[in-house]
Amino acid sequence: MTAVLDGIGTAVPRQVVTNDDLAQRLDTSDEWIRTRTGIAQRHIADASTATSDLAFEAAEALLKTAPGSQVGALIVATTTPDHLMPGVAPLVAGRLGLAVPAYDVQAVCSGFIYGLASAAGLIAAGIAERVMVIGAEVMSRIVDHDDRGTAVLFGDGAGAVTLRAGAPDELGAIGPFDLGSDGEHARQLFVETGGTRTPVVDADTQRRRFLTMDGKQVYRHAVRRMTESSQQLLDRAGLTVGDVDRFVAHQANLRILMAVADRLGIPPERRVSNVDRYGNTSAASIPLALADAGLRPGERVLLTAFGSGFTWGSTLMTWPDLQL
């Protein structure tokens, strides 16, 4: 069976933080942030909102447009879970009243593509007829708000899709996939403490529980991996760049996105970007961009992502005729 996308919903926290807001307490400026990243604002969760809250809201938004949708499994892609255990997915399934298989996928910014692949696997194996995949993050909880290098980059949000069992020639069909990782670069995009290697036990380990990034190395690897992965995927599908109507890359940084699209030869009008309004929302960025892109039924969409690990992944789909 082929996985076919048949629903989408999103949620972002109400509070918007602009570049000017950040410039009031950090040594940065709207101009610096815009030219380096393309980001103008981001949505930030309040202290009482956790990842499962945003994931639940996105799921509700989806189910509102698809009443009666029978969900047989739920996958949440996140790197900012509410708790070390359990995962976010069982919490969300519980709130939705779903007693179904539910688990998290942790591939950081590539998580949504990994989640889609995992869902396609459940469908192919006959384990579930319809799977909900939610990319959800509260990145603001793991960012050091005093570090001007990273504080400006990230935002919070969630996006949910449902995939159902279908046929490869249907609108909404997803696949094939190209996935990969290279753990040698684990520390270049890193949260050092708070896990089993180095638990948070004192002020020092407390200080090192924030996200750190070697921006230059991440840029190099992100551009190379997303470009190669997209090319390999197109080869595997027997397609060329000319067959791609819209290009939806993980929304980390506008310049990375443009560098990848330039290398692939994707014309500017086919590139989807909303990083200006949301910042980098990690695993939530691709569904937020899909929902925002004004996609038309039948358009072929190339999705690609890269994140901490390093991990990366790409897939293809045709956009379905959704009643939103």
Where in the sequence numbering do the catalytic residues fall? 109, 250, 280
Q: Give the span between the Cα atoms of 324 and 147, in whole angstroms.
A: 39
Q: Rounded to the nearest whole angstrom, what is the least distance from the CB of residue 226 to another protein in the complex? A: 13
Closest contact distance (angstroms) between CB of 160 and another protein is 33
- Locate 190 and state its tokens: 């890193």
% helix / strand / coil in the chain, to the nearest 5?
Answer: 40, 25, 35
**185 scored as a contact of another protein (CB under 8 A):** no
Nearer to another protein, 36 or 208 (CB): 36
- Binding segment (CB under 8 A) for another protein, from list 69-77, 117-125, 213-221, 314-322: 213-221
Q: Can you tell me the distance from the alpha carbon of 52 to that of 320, in angstroms, rounded to the nearest whole number? A: 27
Name the residue with tokens 């996006």: 159
Min dist CB 219 to another protein, Å, is 5
Are 22 and 186 in contact by the 8 Å Cβ rule? The answer is: no
> Residue 207: what residue type?
R
Shortest gap between Cβ of 304 and another protein (angstroms)? 17
Q: Supply 242's token pair.
A: 């000319």
- Please report, to the nearest 10 degrees, the dihedral formed by the alpha carbons of residues 79, 80, 82, 86 taken in order: 10
Among the listed ranges 6-14, 212-220, 267-275, 309-317, the one in contact with another protein (CB under 8 A) is 212-220
**Is 113 an interacting residue with respect to another protein (CB under 8 A)?**
no
Q: Which is nearer to another protein, 74 or 259 (CB)?
A: 259
3-state secondary structure of 164: strand
Name the nearest CA neighbour of 289 among 251, 261, 320: 251
In whole angstroms, what is the distance from residue 103 CA to residue 229 CA? Answer: 26
257 - beta bridge partners? none
Cα separation, 186 vs 227, whole angstroms: 20
* Whether 233 contacts 178, CB under 8 Å: yes
Q: Which of these segments, 15-23, 76-84, 159-167, 216-224, binds another protein (CB under 8 A)?
A: 216-224
Among 28, 34, 36, 101, the residue binding another protein under the rule CB under 8 A is: 36
- Of the pair 43, 221, the CB lying nearest another protein is at 221
Please tell me whether residue 148 binds another protein under the rule CB under 8 A.
Answer: no
206 contributes a contact to another protein by CB under 8 A: no
Q: Which of 17, 219, 237, 299 binds another protein (CB under 8 A)?
A: 219
Q: Which of residues 223-282 bind another protein (CB under 8 A)?
A: 223-224, 255, 259, 262
Min separation Cβ 263 and another protein, Å: 8
According to DSSP, the β-strands at 41-43 and 16-18 are: antiparallel
Closer by beta carbon to another protein, 273 or else 318: 273
34 binds another protein (CB under 8 A): no
Which residues, 6+ apart, have CB-to-CB distance to 286 below 8 Å? 112, 113, 135, 159, 248, 250, 251, 303, 305
Token pair of 62 as six digits: 């989806």
Q: Is 217 in the site for another protein (CB under 8 A)?
A: yes
Nearer to another protein, 45 or 223 (CB): 223
Q: Which stretch binds another protein (CB under 8 A): 51-59, 89-97, 163-171, 211-219?
A: 211-219
Contact with another protein (CB under 8 A) among 20, 25, 29, 35: 35
- Summarize as ranges the residues that interact with another protein (CB under 8 A): 35-36, 215-217, 219-220, 223-224, 255, 259, 262
